[in-house]
Amino acid sequence: MASKRRGWMRYWMVDWVVQRTWALITVLAITCVVLVFGVTGLVMAVTPEQSGGQGPWHDAWLNLTLLLDPGTIGNDNTQHDFWYRIFSLTVTIGGILVVSALIGVLTTALNAKLQDLRRGRTPVGERNHTVVLGWSDDVETIVDELLEEGARRPCAVILDPDPRLPELIGEVRSRLLAKVRADLEHTPSNWPERCRELARKLRILRGGLRIVLRGWSS
């Protein structure tokens, strides 16, 4: 019964820590505190003459520098006895493990957040925009119709989980640009209204048109 309870507690703790980045950081921070003050207590108890007589807080600060910077122990030219060096080495090795784990946790969390941003898992803050549910060949027609409406900064929000969506949108924009340029070149100069309309569409395609890409919410 006790083994089952221990197994359940271990499972719950691992699941709770793995699913939450802040929990991992909290565990690592607590580990740092326990390691620093535990070794400080050992130094004060076993080798009090090595502490320099400046009190436990000074020793705790020295141990913290050993934990955060492994090079500190290599630059220490002070004469210390065997046990003090063992305690310093323990803090340094523990610091290498804890800091490496912390960097790994932060890197993983940052990469996961960037992946969510690339997949379009963020809210849309646009106004007066057109929502397109799913990619299809009609998207080019929809964008062309938005250009015809006359808005200064038309916006379309496309919801689709396809990772090729940015490339597809780039192709649509390129085709529309080529089409408008061709129409502008072949429009007679005695049609000023049509020329102005095509020039306006060209400006919008180059900088005014906003196409926001979002994936399906998970």
Tens digits of residue pLDDT in 32-57: 888 888 888 887 877 777 666 677 78
- Compute the distance between CA of residue 38 and CA of residue 175 in angstroms, rounded to an integer: 68
Going from N- to C-terminal start, the domains of the chain cover 2-118, 130-214
| pLDDT value at residue 218 | 41
- Compute the distance between CA of residue 188 and CA of residue 178 in angstroms, rounded to an integer: 18
Mind spelling out the 3-state secondary structure of 125-194? CCCCCEEEECCCCCHHHHHHHHHHHCCCCCEEEEECCCCCHHHHHHHHHHHHHHHHHHHHHHCCCCCHHH
- Compute the distance between CA of residue 88 and CA of residue 46 in angstroms, rounded to an integer: 13
Q: Which residues of 113-141 are buried (b: 16+ CB within 10 A; e: fewer)?
A: eeeeeebbeeeeeeeebeebeebeeebbe
Fold of 2-118: Helix Hairpins (1.10.287)
- Compute the distance between CA of residue 109 and CA of residue 67 in angstroms, rounded to an integer: 23
Q: Inform me whether the pLDDT recorded for 216 exceeds 60.
A: no
Could you tell me which of 147, 153, 156, 155 has the C-alpha nearest to residue 197?
A: 147
Higher pLDDT, 72 or 113: 113
| pLDDT value at residue 14 | 64
Token pair for 123: 């809210």
What is the model's pTM? 0.51
CB 181 within 8 A of CB 126: no
- Compute the distance between CA of residue 52 and CA of residue 75 in angstroms, rounded to an integer: 18
3-class state of residue 55 by DSSP: coil
- Compute the distance between CA of residue 67 and CA of residue 84 in angstroms, rounded to an integer: 15
